[in-house]
Structure 1
Amino acid sequence: MTVPTLTLNDGKSIPQLGFGVFKVDPAETERIVLDALEAGYRHIDTAAIYGNEEGVGAAFAKSGVSRDELFITTKLWNDRRGAEDTRKALGESLEKLGLDHVDLYLIHWPTPASDKVIETWETFGEFREQGLATSIGVSNFDHRYLPAILETGIVPAVDQIELHPQFQQVESLDLLAQNDIKIEAWGPLGQGKVDYANTVIGEIAQSVEKSWAQVVIRWHLQKGHILFPKTNRKERMVENKNVFDFELSAEQMAAIDALEAGARVSADPAEVN
């Protein structure tokens, strides 16, 4: 089934469901991304720190999929800050990906110890004007770090943040909505660290005859989140995409909402520099 698209605040479209390559072995990336493309994914999310941009690019080159069908995201790592270093970093990523532009470029973490984050973000604005990045955004900038970015007058198109049923980023939601910044949920299934199958999600999965993971993906989609579950197995890629033939009821959505516990499974942005 066709993956729906969302319209970003810059007028560009983004596929709501994609494929992520976090922790994908660089030696296996080409094969795995080819599998994802064959399974129908067109939105691929990578990052400089993953070390697999070259494999992602090799898969694109081999796939035969036209560039205008693809939506490619990569991210600037924490050791590259300031205008000059940021420009070099994007150039390196584009070379590894074999592309002349990315569809979305993100600052990976807010790195609160750095005094060059605003300079870096303003350089991102230049990338958008130059066509090197069609859309620009941030990652892990919650309610504590997003206001400083907004003060520049350059509004991110997306904010990619840890978000799953037990950690719903409730303190940041109003600020994101007020600025029409779309949420990209990373770790959307809890990174295997939460036993969602033995919560109300498992009960809902039985009632709709889907897996617990499909139920969580469907919850994200109905929330309006963009997400890209990661798996190395082609059959799971197909399963994760098979979520457009059912809908969760308002009661089922509310039951999953009630799992919110403010419980991260990964790092607090305040501690990542």
Structure 2
Amino acid sequence: MAISPASSSIKFLFYCLSIVVLVGLVNASRFDELFQPSWAQDHFSYEGEQLNLKLDNFSGAGFASKSMYMFGKTTLQIKLIEGDSAGTVTAFYMSSNGPNHNEFDFEFLGNTTGEPYLVQTNIYVNGVGNREQRLNLWFDPSKDFHSYSILWNQRQVVFLVDETPIRVFTNKENQGVAFPKDQAMGVYSSIWNADDWATQGGRVKTDWTHAPFVASYKGFEIDACECAVSVAADQNVRRCSASDKGYWWDQPVMSELNQHQSHQLMWVRANHLVYDYCTDSSRFPVLPRECDHR
């Protein structure tokens, strides 16, 4: 059914009002309020509220949220490694624990000087991934900070760059496709060497004469349902899934992209998508069920 511009505008207005009126459980911008170093703390440095992570030929570095969450939105502002970043990966992701974990990945794949960064997204559900998409960006992500966000509710997972959706994973449980909605997830970021695969399939290796490689962060935000570790997992699921809590991400307007966002996603896919597992018949002779858009 066609949606009129007026109807779309009303939906978008409701969405904006819901953000203002409905308060999420966590929303902060200081690193140490939400996160803590998880490894190689000596590779961290701070400039006011800006955090820098460095990678050298001794180690990378990473950090993790202090809490776990179920549904909501998390955002980091990141400025990626400048110059020759071949072989490096800067990752921003959410993940639950255990072998049957759920995971939503942003992986920024470095490249040789003058070549564009590639952004790889991936989704794991119950321990199964292999859902890679890759795209180049419409700006140089190493020149300035840009916002990267993951929105997660019971209907969809949306990856956003500067609030532009670049990927949507829709709940298709009614078609027999598993959807991540029963495991609390932490928020993580790291910088590391992956020159066995990251740049041109591993053909271009990391040039350590350009080390240290530095990724910078600011604007740390998590607006989500926090899950206490002292509470049983099924209780967290019930609380974070309750329809009477008034969570903004559970409002009907958030169940799908609005018309403007749908057009943005179409533009991204038409102009910047360079790989989609759903079209890779060599890997998947039988199309994965979630790829069937009928």
The bucket for the TM-score relative to the shorter chain is: under 0.3
Taking CA–CA contacts closer than 8 Å with sequence separation of 6 or more, which of the two structures ends up with the larger relative contact order?
Answer: 2
Q: Greater strand share, 1 or 2?
A: 2
Q: Greater helix share, 1 or 2?
A: 1
User: What TM-score do you get using the length of structure 1 for normalisation?
Assistant: 0.23
Larger radius of gyration: 2
